[in-house]
Amino acid sequence: MSSGEIGFLVGAIPGLTLVFRNMLALRRRIEEAEKLAKENGSFLDFNYSASSMKSDFLFRPGTFIKPDDEAGICHAKEHLLMVRRRTIKRHVVGGLVVMTGAILGSFLEASLWPGG
């Protein structure tokens, strides 16, 4: 492995860590929402539900809560919508850190050890 490749990987690690932590935080929020729905006598299964629920959550938050949803599911989905914007922002920041760190790490590593 060349020094540029090592620098690329080392530079990308902080951003990948941010993205991974953000994914874990979103997973905890999804579990909380599923628990809220269960406490209200409803069943929300975000991961195994129709893919339209996930795409509505990401791309069409206005249609995420359906008119025929039960009160418990509405409450759980509102909980998810509260963390949506922050989650997306953190993912974008993590992606930018990955790109910047990987490029800078690659150049720095290659300039410090040009023969490697």
Return d(Cα 54, Cα 42) in angstroms, integer: 18
Cα 93-49-30 angle, rounded to 5 deg? 45
pLDDT band per the 50, 70, 90 thresholds, residue 21:
very high
**pLDDT (0 to 100) of residue 24:** 96
Distance CA 25, CA 98 (A): 19
Average pLDDT of the residues in 99-114 = 85
Q: Is the pLDDT of residue 2 over 80?
A: no
Question: How many independent structural domains does the chain possess?
Answer: 1
In this predicted structure, the answer to whether residue 35 has a pLDDT above a threshold of 80 is yes
Note the pLDDT of residue 48.
76
Predicted confidence (pLDDT) at residue 16 exceeds the cutoff of 70:
yes
The whole-angstrom separation of Cα 62 and Cα 51 is 16
For residue 103, the enclosing domain spans 3-112
Say which range, 34-38, 48-52, 54-58, 82-86, has the weakest mean pLDDT. Answer: 48-52
Question: What integer pLDDT is reported at residue 78 of this predicted model?
Answer: 93
Query: What pLDDT, on a 0 to 100 scale, did the predictor assign at position 107?
Result: 86
Nearest to 77 by CA among 53, 51, 59, 48: 53
